[in-house]
Amino acid sequence: MNRFYLPAPAWHAPSPRLDTSESHHALDVLRLKPDDRVVIFDGEGTEASAQICALEGKSVLLRIGQKSPTPPLACAITLAQAIPKGKNMDLIIQKAVELGAARIAPLLSDRTVVQISGADAAKKRDKWREIAIEACKQCGQNRLPEIGLPQSPGNFLEHNEPSELMLIASLQPDARRIKDVLADHPAPSSVCVLVGPEGDFTPAELSLAKSRGCQPITLGPIILRTETAALYCLSVLAHELFSQ
């Protein structure tokens, strides 16, 4: 059944309605009509059956039916990702949703080619949020990950509340396997993993991360592209932590 995003506050309106983008998708793409049934989700863990009860201009009005809560995953995973060039960040956002990331923190490291600031940063975040919503709709995820504004690794480590377990992907010889690190920290309630740009974090950035409690992890003997490294980390963490 077709799924649509309806933010939690809108569920309590006398006549809940899909926003402009979701209404366009329902009417102009899917050609839905009054009385058609859909599924809505609020991005906070609740979904519900719903019926299109009316059209008002180009807006879809809904009648919400049975609600069903989705329990949170066993561990809240944050991906702090250096922004790659091109559209690879879009791919990372999409796949991070599918792999259950609770939060995505875009990073502007010293070796990041892309540099974003001011209004452009807010526009980028809005675009990434739209990609995350579409991914939630497609994969059945009812929890929309929080997506932060682009910031430096130092600012992220300084001003964000640390996770119970802090990791950083590293090419240095002191890096350990994710599985070995998790064996020393069984069943963490939250994990953050920092993934650097092509060329890795600088020694200064890595040193700062380690001083803030980040444990270096190796992703194997083959050097991965940054988008591959992100998906590798999320996949391994999901396998190890979500099945507990």
Residue of 43, 41, 58, 36 whose CA lies nearest to 4: 41
Q: Both 20 and 64 in a single domain?
A: yes
Is there a single domain that holds both residue 55 and residue 129? Answer: no
pLDDT of residue 176: 96
Residue 42 CA to residue 9 CA, distance in Å, equals: 9
Same domain, 63 and 80: no
Tell me what pLDDT residue 244 has.
56
Four-residue CA torsion sign, 217, 221, 227, 232: negative
48 contacts: CB under 8 Å, gap ≥ 6? 11, 39, 40, 41, 64, 65, 66, 67, 68
Domain count, the chain: 2
What CATH number should be reported for the domain holding residue 144? 3.40.1280.10
Query: What radius of gyration do the chain's Cα atoms show?
Result: 20
Range of the domain at 137: 76-241
Cβ atoms of 142 and 97 closer than 8 Å:
no
* Dist CA 102 CA 146 (whole Å): 6
Q: Mark the ranges of the chain whose per-residue pLDDT is less than 50.
A: none
From 25, 52, 69, the end of a domain falls on 69
- Cα torsion angle, 178, 181, 185, 190, sign: negative
Residues 138, 122 share a domain = yes
Q: Are strands 46-56 and 37-41 parallel, antiparallel or unpaired?
A: antiparallel
Q: What is the pLDDT of residue 118?
A: 81
- Per-residue model confidence (pLDDT) at position 101: 98
Q: What CATH number is given to the structural domain containing 40?
A: 2.40.240.20
- Residues 94 and 126 placed together within one structural domain of the fold: yes
Helices (H), the chain: 20-24, 88-98, 118-139, 153-159, 178-184, 203-211, 226-241
pLDDT of res. 209: 96
Six-digit token string for 129: 């949020």
